[in-house]
Structure 1
Amino acid sequence: MMSLAVNSLLDARCSRLRGRLVEFRRIMRAVLVQDMRTRFGTSHIGYLIAIGWPLSHMSVITLVYLLRISIAPVGDSPTVFVATGIVPYILCFYPARLLSMAIPQNRQLLNIPVIQPLHLIFSRCILETLNAVIVLALFMFAISLFDVDILPPDTAEASKAIVAAVFLGIGLGFFNVMMCALVGQYFMLFFLLAMLGLYLISGAYLPPNMIPSSLREYMAYNPLTQLVEWLRSAYYASYDPELINKSMIYWVGGISFTLGLVGERCLRGRILS
Structure 2
Amino acid sequence: MTTLVSKRSFSTTRSVIALIFREMSTTYGRSPGGYIWAILEPVLAISLMTVVFSYALRSPALGVSFPLFYATGYFPFIMYNDMTMKVGQAIKFNKNLLAYPNVTYVDAIAGRAVLSSLTNALVFGIFILGLIVIGGLHLNVNFVRLTNAFGMSIALGIGIGVINCYVMSRFPIWTSIWSIINRPMFIISGIFFLIDEVGEPYRTILLYNPMAHVIMQMRSAFYPTYDANYASPVYVYSIAFVLLFFGFLLLNRYHRYILDEGA
TM-score range for the pair, normalised by the shorter chain length: 0.7 to 0.9
**8 A Cα contact 1:65 1:82, kept in partner:** no
Of 124, 128, 134, the match for 1:136: 124
| Secondary structure class of the residue paired with 2:96 | helix
Alignment correspondent of 1:215: 202
Structure-2 change in CA distance of 1:213 and 1:197 (3 Å): same
User: Following TM superposition, by how much is the alpha carbon of 1:48 offset from its aligned partner in structure 2, in angstroms?
Assistant: 3.6
Q: Give the length in aligned residue pairs.
A: 260
| Corresponding residue of 1:83 | 71
Q: Post-superposition shift, 1:119? A: 1.7
Of the structure 1 ranges 112-121 and 87-96, higher mean CA displacement relative to structure 2 is found in: 112-121
1:245 to 2:232 alignment: yes
Aligned to 1:233: 220
2:138 and 2:185 map into 1 onto residues whose CA distance is 25
Which stretches of structure 1, 4 residues or more, deviate above 6 A after TM superposition?
Answer: none
Aligned pairs for 1:1-273 (under 5 A) are: 13-149=1-137, 151-184=139-172, 186-241=173-228, 243-272=230-259, 273=262
* Cα gap change, 1:191 to 1:58, in 2 (>3 Å): farther
Matches of 1:135 and 1:179 in 2, distance apart?
A: 30
Name the aligned partner's letter for residue 170 of structure 1.
Answer: I
Residues 72, 215 of structure 2: 8 Å contact kept: yes
Distance 1:241 1:41, change over 3 A: closer
Q: TM-score, normalised by structure 1?
A: 0.84
Counterpart Cα distance in 2 of 1:129 and 1:67: 34
Deviations 1:117-162 (A, max 9, x none): 2221111111111111211112212323442526344232122112
Equivalent position SS for 1:164: helix
Match of 1:119, SS state, is helix
Distance change >3 Å, CA 228–CA 42, structure 1 → 2: closer
Q: Is the 8 A contact 1:155 1:234 kept in 2?
A: yes
Q: Distance in 1 between matches of 2:247 and 2:43?
A: 28
Task: Give 1:200 shift.
Answer: 0.7
Given that 1:69 and 1:78 are in contact with CA atoms closer than 8 Å, whether structure 2 keeps it comes out as: no
Structure 1 unaligned regions, length at least 5:
1-12
Larger gyration radius, structure 1 or structure 2: 1
Name the residue aligned to 1:9.
none
Q: Deviations over 1:182-215 (max 9, x none)?
A: 322x222332233321221122222224322121
Q: Distance between the aligned counterparts of 2:72 and 2:78, measured in 1?
A: 11
How far the C-alpha of 1:59 sits from its partner, in A, is 4.4
Q: For the Cα contact (< 8 Å) 1:38–1:106, is it kept in 2?
A: no
* Consecutive unaligned residues in structure 2, runs of 5 or more: none
Deviation at 1:56, TM superposition (A): 4.0
The 1-side partners of 2:185 and 2:177 are apart by 12
TM-score after normalising by structure 2 = 0.87
- The answer on whether the counterparts of 1:164 and 1:249 sit within 8 Å (CA) in structure 2 is yes
The percentage of counterpart residues that share the same residue type is 23
Instruction: Out of 87-96 and 231-240, give the one that drifted further.
Output: 231-240
Structure 1 residues 118, 219: CA separation in 2 closer, same or farther (over 3 Å shift)? same
Query: By how many angstroms is 1:90 displaced?
Result: 1.2
**Higher mean displacement: 71-80 or 117-126:** 71-80
Deviations 1:25-76 (A, max 9, x none): 2222222222323333433333444454445444444444345433122323
- 1:79-113 Cα offsets, whole Å, 9 max, x none, are 32222221221121111112222222232212323
Larger deviation: 59-68 or 127-136? Answer: 59-68
